[in-house]
């Protein structure tokens, strides 16, 4: 069956979204942009910024009011990620992961007790949560998950052994809980039973490995995790036992739209940097933007950024209609729109970063202008939350192609 | 405690600000926003109201704005920050009003409201005259306590600190009073997403001159006490003189300064 999203092209950002965009833009200009270069150079996670983002309501955008959120829509979250990402990709991913991977699984699958325990601090920005899916041997191929959780019948505790890789927000000084996927048994057909378990930060047997040395996203917090006989209460199971695969697949769809918004922010920043530099940098007696080779390349980028914006907010609008219970939208449509948005926008972001550094010439290669940072930060966008190849696989399967 | 904050909608100082043909500020061609200096007044009002409410006293913040239709954006921003209600005086006859007319209109609007305290910014970021607070206090017969860097209230009096170059003055006045605040007084909050959504449900009362019992002849460009005869753009700044240090840089800098009679 072909999953069609092409008819879904009617959406627009409301006045509220644009008002909110202005607020986040002002916030980013005042509290983020002046520090981004220094945070990047020092590879320092700006933990002090997180509560300020919480005050602005960024972590609670899609959270109901009873947990301190504002009961807003997913589109608002994308607006916030885009605007933060326009000045600082590390801060953008901190928000994106904090909400999409940290808060959303708890909100969607948590019991009343689990939500009451964890959500208020996460929403306020007093704490961050992480999602541990990827393993050294298992990325999008989650069926290959090796981390095991065995229920100790005597103590009613899960005993967890294994390792996770590339886990965002997992090692900050305010990380409160890490949601992990683990094999909790075998199904009748001998396939692994995958479940999701909440591991509080500081649990005995949980080792947070030293931070990675990354190409980009220097000011975001990313660690590997090692579990060695880590024990957590049986009640820390998130959602149903054996539902881990389904739960994380839903999480990934949201994450792809959010990463698309993040990539959109970077692409816009690169476009703006291109226009400004090409209009002011003089070579051979005229601005370099007077050369068609440069002006036309920037014109093409403007079109690509526009189309990326439309794809991103179409996916977000579909997601919002699904959330609102609109029966004419199903999950497959959202997944297809998310994959298309993420594929195109991350490609555009990488192209934009390449062009921006090229337009800046030698200055683009040194850390004097932010475009060098944009270049380093862009690559991960084609990799995280499913590589471009995975997105193409999702899209091709949606078209009904017999692709492996 | 009932607080009214007077706010102005001004052209974005980051934009390309211009005058129109009649030498008034062009409010169409540039994005407008709540004057940044008024954000401090709104923040102070909210801080006071929240503290009073926390101690059990019913407190409200109303924002009052005079301006064309688009000025409702300034009211909305204040409501998004947390103010409870808005009053927008909007009338075509108001275009071109000077400070005297503005204070007359704001005073008339304030007479329709209950208040214990009127707060304003220290100036608007477009006109920058800083006289409306004093005129308003005069018209309403209120104590005027201007340029506050700190505001303290008890039930019946307001006490402010005004920081000068060589001294800090402490000034006290009985309520109701009019207080203008400086940009040193606080750190204005950003509207939260929740605040943006909540603002849509807050009442904004739009009033015309007739609603306030004022005549169009009392306000607007034709009633202004002064007339702007001409507006000329300032010539662009000349490129500075660059001195390259070839061993005598210091001497040449001093020569330049001496030539300009600076040293």
Spans of all domains in chain B: 2-223
Asked if the Cβ–Cβ distance from B192 to A70 is below 8 Å, we say yes
Is residue A8 included in any domain, yes or no? no
| Domains in chain A, number | 3
Residues from chain B that touch A27, judged by Cβ atoms under 8 A, are: 190
Instruction: Check whether A11 has a pLDDT greater than 70.
Output: yes
- Dihedral sign for Cα atoms in the order A260, A266, A269, A270: negative
- A403 lies in a domain? no
Q: Are strands A282-283 and A206-211 parallel, antiparallel or unpaired?
A: unpaired
Residues A221, A260, single domain; the answer is no
Whether A325 and A234 map to the same domain: the answer is no
CATH code assigned at A183: 2.40.110.10
Integer Rg of chain A from CA:
21
Tens-place pLDDT, residues A107-124:
999 999 999 999 999 999
Give yes or no for a contact between A123 and A103, defined as CB atoms under 8 angstroms apart: yes
Report the distance separating Cα A291 and Cα A283, nearest Å.
Answer: 10
For residue A32, tell me if it sits in a domain: yes
pLDDT of residue B16: 82
**Residue A341, in any domain of the structure:** yes
CATH number at residue A110: 1.10.540.10
Q: Which value, to the nearest 10 degrees, does the dihedral of the CA atoms of residues A39, A44, A45, A51 take?
A: -70
CATH assignment of B2-223? 3.40.50.620
What is the rounded distance in angstroms from the CA atom of residue B225 to the CA atom of residue B203?
35
Q: What is the pLDDT of residue A7?
A: 46
For residue A10, give the nearest of A308, A318, A327, A395 by alpha carbon: A318
Instruction: Mark whether A136 and A123 lie in a shared domain.
Output: no
**Which conformational region is residue B33 in: left (phi greater than 0), alpha (psi within -120 to 50 degrees), or beta?**
beta
Asked if A88 and A178 sit in the same domain, the reply is no
How far apart are alpha carbons A220 and B216 in whole angstroms?
59
Cα-to-chain-centroid distance, residue A76: 14
Contact (Cβ atoms closer than 8 angstroms) between residue B40 and residue B19: no
Q: Taking 70 as the threshold, does the pLDDT of residue A3 lie above it?
A: no
Last residue of a domain, one of A60, A95, A128: A128
For residue B115, give both structure tokens.
């208040």
The answer to whether position A248 is within a domain reads yes
According to DSSP, the residues that pair with A167 across neighbouring strands are A223
Q: Which tens digit of pLDDT belongs to each residue from A187-202?
A: 998 889 999 999 999 9
Name the token pair of B163: 């920081």
Q: Is residue A404 part of a domain?
A: no
Instruction: State chain A's mean pLDDT as an integer.
Output: 94
Last residue of a domain, one of A128, A154, A174: A128
This prediction has a pTM of 0.87
Same domain, A109 and A201: no
- Neighbour-count burial of B198, counting CB atoms closer than 10 A to its CB (0-12 exposed, 13-18 middle, 19+ buried): middle
Q: Do A70 and B197 touch (CB under 8 A)?
A: yes
- Residue A140: is its pLDDT beyond 80? no
Asked, as a colleague might, if the bond just before B176 is cis with ω within 30 of 0, I would say yes
In three-state secondary structure terms, B57 is coil
DSSP assignment of A95-153 = HHHIIIIIIHHHHHH--HHHHHHHHHHHHHTS-EEEEE--BTTBSS-GGG---EEEEET
Percent of chain A with pLDDT over 70: 97
A263 plus A383 within the same structural domain: yes
Same domain, A296 and A361: yes
A192: domain range?
A: 131-238
In this structure, are residues A167 and A221 in contact, taking their beta carbons and an 8 Å threshold?
no
Determine the distance in angstroms separating the CA of A326 from the nearest CA of chain B, rounded to an integer: 22
Q: Do A99 and A23 share a structural domain? A: yes
Span of A132-146, A299-313, B51-65 with lowest mean pLDDT: A132-146
pLDDT more than 90, % of chain A: 85
* Residue A112 Cα to chain centre, angstroms: 26
Residues A251 and A228 placed together within one structural domain of the fold: no
Locate all alpha helices (DSSP H) within A159-281, ordered by sequence. Answer: 244-280
Cα–Cα distance measured from residue A193 to residue A181, given in angstroms and rounded to the nearest whole number: 10
Q: Decide if pLDDT at A231 tops 80.
A: yes
How far B249 CA lies from chain A's nearest CA (Å)? 27
Shortest distance, CA B201 to any CA of chain A (angstroms)? 13
Please give the backbone phi and psi of residue A179, each rounded to the nearest 5 degrees, phi first: -90, 125
Residues 6+ apart with CB under 8 A from A398: A2, A3, A332, A335, A336, A339
Task: Decide if B194 touches A, using CB distance below 8 A.
Answer: yes
Q: Are residues A152 and A200 in the same domain?
A: yes
Give the per-residue pLDDT at A80.
98
Are A374 and A273 in contact, with CB atoms under 8 Å apart?
Answer: yes
Could you tell me the pLDDT band of residue A10, with boundaries at 50, 70 and 90? low
Whether residues A316 and A387 fall in one domain: yes
Q: Residue B120 pairs with which residues in a beta bridge?
A: B180
* Helix/strand/coil for B132: helix
Q: Of B49, B178, B40, B63, which Cα lies nearest the Cα of B109? A: B63
Domain end among A128, A149, A175:
A128
Q: Are strands B157-163 and B168-174 parallel, antiparallel or unpaired?
A: antiparallel
CB contact under 8 A, B80 and A19: yes
Q: Which pLDDT value is given to residue B64? A: 98
Option in B190, B192, B197 nearest A16 (CB): B197
Low-confidence ranges of chain B (pLDDT < 50): none
Q: Let me know if A368 is a catalytic residue.
A: no
| Segment A197-218 mean pLDDT | 96
Report the DSSP beta bridge partners of residue B33: B10
Residues of A with CB under 8 A from a CB of B: 16, 19-20, 23, 26-27, 55-58, 60-61, 65, 70-72, 76
Catalytic annotation, pick one of A8, A82, A83, A385? A385
Q: Domain of A251: which CATH number?
A: 1.20.140.10
Q: What are phi and psi of B253, to 5 degrees?
A: -60, -45
Map tokens 């809980």 to a residue.
A177
SS3 call for A355: helix
A221 with A382: CB under 8 angstroms?
A: no
Partner-chain contact A70 B190, CB within 8 Å: no
For residues A46-51, give the mean pLDDT. Answer: 98
Cα-to-chain-centroid distance, residue B74: 11
User: Of the ranges A15-29, A138-152, A173-187, A338-352, which one carries the lowest mean pLDDT score?
Assistant: A138-152
- In this prediction, residue A5 carries a pLDDT of 52
Q: Looking at residue A4, what is its pLDDT?
A: 54
| Each residue's pLDDT tens digit, A358-369 | 999 999 999 989
Nearest CA in chain A to B200: A16
């Amino acid at each position: 069956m072909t999953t069609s999203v092409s008819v879904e092209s009617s959406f627009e950002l409301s006045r509220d979204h644009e008002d909110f965009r202005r607020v986040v833009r002002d916030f980013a200009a005042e509290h983020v942009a002046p520090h981004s270069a220094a945070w990047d150079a020092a590879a320092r996670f700006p933990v002090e910024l997180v509560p300020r983002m919480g005050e602005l309501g960024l972590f609670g955008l899609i959270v109901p009011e009873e947990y301190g959120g504002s009961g807003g829509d997913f589109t608002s979250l994308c607006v916030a990620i885009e605007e933060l990402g326009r000045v600082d990709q590390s801060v953008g991913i901190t928000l994106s992961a904090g909400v999409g991977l940290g808060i959303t699984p708890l909100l969607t699958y948590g019991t009343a007790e689990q939500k009451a325990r964890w959500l208020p601090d996460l929403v306020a920005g007093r704490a961050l949560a992480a999602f541990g899916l990827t393993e050294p041997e298992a990325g999008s191929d989650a069926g290959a998950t090796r981390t095991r959780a065995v229920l100790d019948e005597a103590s009613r505790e899960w005993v967890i052994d294994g390792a996770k890789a590339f886990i965002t927000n997992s090692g900050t000084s305010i990380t409160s809980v890490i949601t992990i996927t683990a094999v909790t048994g075998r199904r009748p057909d001998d396939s692994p039973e995958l479940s999701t378990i909440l591991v509080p930060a500081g649990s005995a047997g949980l080792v947070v490995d030293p931070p990675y040395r990354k190409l980009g996203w220097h000011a975001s917090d990313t660690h590997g995790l090692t579990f060695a006989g880590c024990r957590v209460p049986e009640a820390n199971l998130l959602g149903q036992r054996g539902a881990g695969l389904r739960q994380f697949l839903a999480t990934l769809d949201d994450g792809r739209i959010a990463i698309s918004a993040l990539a959109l922010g970077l692409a816009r920043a690169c476009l703006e940097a291109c226009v400004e530099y090409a209009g002011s940098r003089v070579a051979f007696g005229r601005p370099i933007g007077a050369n068609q080779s440069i002006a036309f390349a920037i014109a093409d980028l403007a079109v690509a950024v526009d189309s990326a914006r439309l794809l991103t907010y179409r996916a977000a609008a579909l997601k919002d209609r699904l959330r609102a219970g609109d029966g004419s939208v199903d999950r497959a449509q959202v997944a297809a729109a998310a994959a298309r948005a993420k594929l195109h926008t991350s490609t555009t972001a990488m192209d934009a970063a390449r062009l921006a550094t090229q337009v800046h010439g030698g200055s683009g290669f040194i850390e004097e202008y932010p475009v060098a940072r944009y270049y380093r930060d862009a690559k991960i966008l084609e990799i995280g939350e499913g590589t471009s190849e995975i997105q193409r696989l999702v899209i091709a399967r949606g078209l009904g192609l017999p692709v492996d | 405690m009932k607080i009214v904050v007077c706010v102005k909608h001004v052209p974005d100082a980051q934009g390309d600000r211009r005058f129109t043909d009649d030498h008034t500020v062009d409010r169409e061609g540039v994005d407008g926003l709540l004057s940044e200096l008024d954000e401090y007044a709104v923040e102070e009002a909210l801080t006071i109201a929240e503290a009073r409410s926390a101690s059990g006293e019913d407190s409200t913040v109303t924002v009052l704005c005079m301006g064309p239709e688009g000025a409702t954006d300034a009211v909305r921003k204040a409501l998004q920050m947390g103010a409870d209600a808005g009053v927008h005086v909007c009338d075509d006859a108001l275009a071109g009003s000077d400070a005297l007319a503005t204070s007359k209109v704001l005073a008339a609007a304030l007479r329709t409201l209950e208040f214990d305290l009127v707060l304003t910014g220290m100036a608007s970021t477009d006109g920058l005259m800083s006289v409306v607070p004093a005129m308003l206090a005069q018209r309403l017969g209120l104590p005027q306590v201007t340029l506050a860097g700190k505001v303290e209230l008890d039930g019946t009096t307001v006490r402010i600190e005004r920081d000068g170059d060589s001294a800090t003055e402490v000034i006290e006045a009985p309520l109701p009073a009019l207080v203008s605040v400086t940009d040193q007084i606080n750190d204005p909050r950003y509207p939260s997403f929740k605040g943006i959504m909540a603002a849509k449900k807050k009442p904004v009362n739009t009033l015309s001159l007739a609603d306030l019992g004022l005549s169009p002849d009392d306000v607007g460009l034709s009633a202004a006490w002064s007339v702007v005869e001409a507006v000329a753009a300032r010539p662009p700044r000349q490129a500075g003189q660059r001195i390259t240090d070839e061993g005598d840089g210091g001497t040449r800098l001093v020569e330049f300064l001496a030539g300009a009679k600076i040293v």
